[in-house]
Amino acid sequence: MKILLLDKNHPLITEQLLAKNFILEEDFTSSYDEVCDKIHQYDGIIIRSRIPLDKNFLEKGKNLKFIARVGAGMENIDIPVAEKLRIQLINSPEGNRDSVAEHVIGILLIVMNRLFIASQEVKNGIWKREENRGNELLGKTVGLIGYGNMGKATAKRLSGFGCKVIFHDILPGLSDEFATQVTLDELKESAEVLSLHIPLTSETHYLIDERFISEMKNDFYFVNTARGKNVETRSLVEAMKSGKVKAVCLDVLEYEKSSFENIETENEDLNYLLHSENAIVTPHIAGWTHQSKEKLAQFIVDKIVASYC
């Protein structure tokens, strides 16, 4: 099988697939149109996020048998068209679930205990103790939306902090020893911390908006390591200003490029987040550890080999 690699990934992908007699070609620079012109030559494609695989692209890939995305989200692929064309879709959410879970814990501890603020103050000669009293995770009710790989890994770690973890998911019967499944209304009634672990779909676009926030009974901390467009930033910022949202931990932003390489839009809401002491903002790195890079790649290789060898 002839496979096109469109993004740089861990070298084990190339090493292990070549050892299994796959034919590999790398192209990390060609434009969308240039790749479209040659995609018919390949049986498979391995991607991250550089090029969108829309209806036009997929229909030109007349010989494509699979698309493998080294990561979890598949929103840059026109899934209904791919399924209609019987192109197998492969991803590897197992590979970065642990790094995402650790990131959630890390940024929550930072913002709830004012660690970044206090550290910066001391470095600038300011010594404030009373003003930097923290809030403990112990005893908090944490609500997760989405209970797949990322949600489950996060719940497992939160349980060790003595949290009550509840979650909402569109699939039934997912409760386990670490978290209890509830309705969305029940989650809004109880959660003191809210964390997203969902894909970006038409149903989850702007899931967190003015109405959703207003329906949360408690003032709450908010964490998003899923997708930026799951959240209507304008409404989140207004809730921060009112105190309804105590603080935010954002690894993803509504204003990111589709490739996640940078911010493509700047405005007053983004400016507020970047200058608020109640916001921790990181550059889409929750699933981006040295270990996850290797694990993401290994899961992709294993799944391709299992299907085509």
Question: Which amino acids are annotated catalytic?
Answer: 227, 256, 284
**Which amino acid would we find at residue 10?**
H
Distances from the Cα of 281 to the Cαs of 6, 245, 267, in angstroms?
A: 28, 15, 15
Of 5, 58, 53, which Cα lies nearest the Cα of 27? 5
Q: How many CB atoms lie within 10 A of CB 305?
A: 14
Contacts of residues 204-207 at CB distance under 8 Å and 24 or more positions apart, as own/partner, are: 204/230, 205/229, 205/230, 206/230, 206/231, 206/232, 207/145, 207/231
Q: CA-to-CA distance for 110 and 126, rounded, in angstroms?
A: 18
Q: Under a CB-based contact definition with an 8 Å cutoff, are residues 141 and 123 in contact?
A: no
**Which amino acid would we find at residue 244?**
K
Q: How many CB atoms lie within 10 A of CB 296?
A: 27
Residue 32, SS3 per DSSP: helix
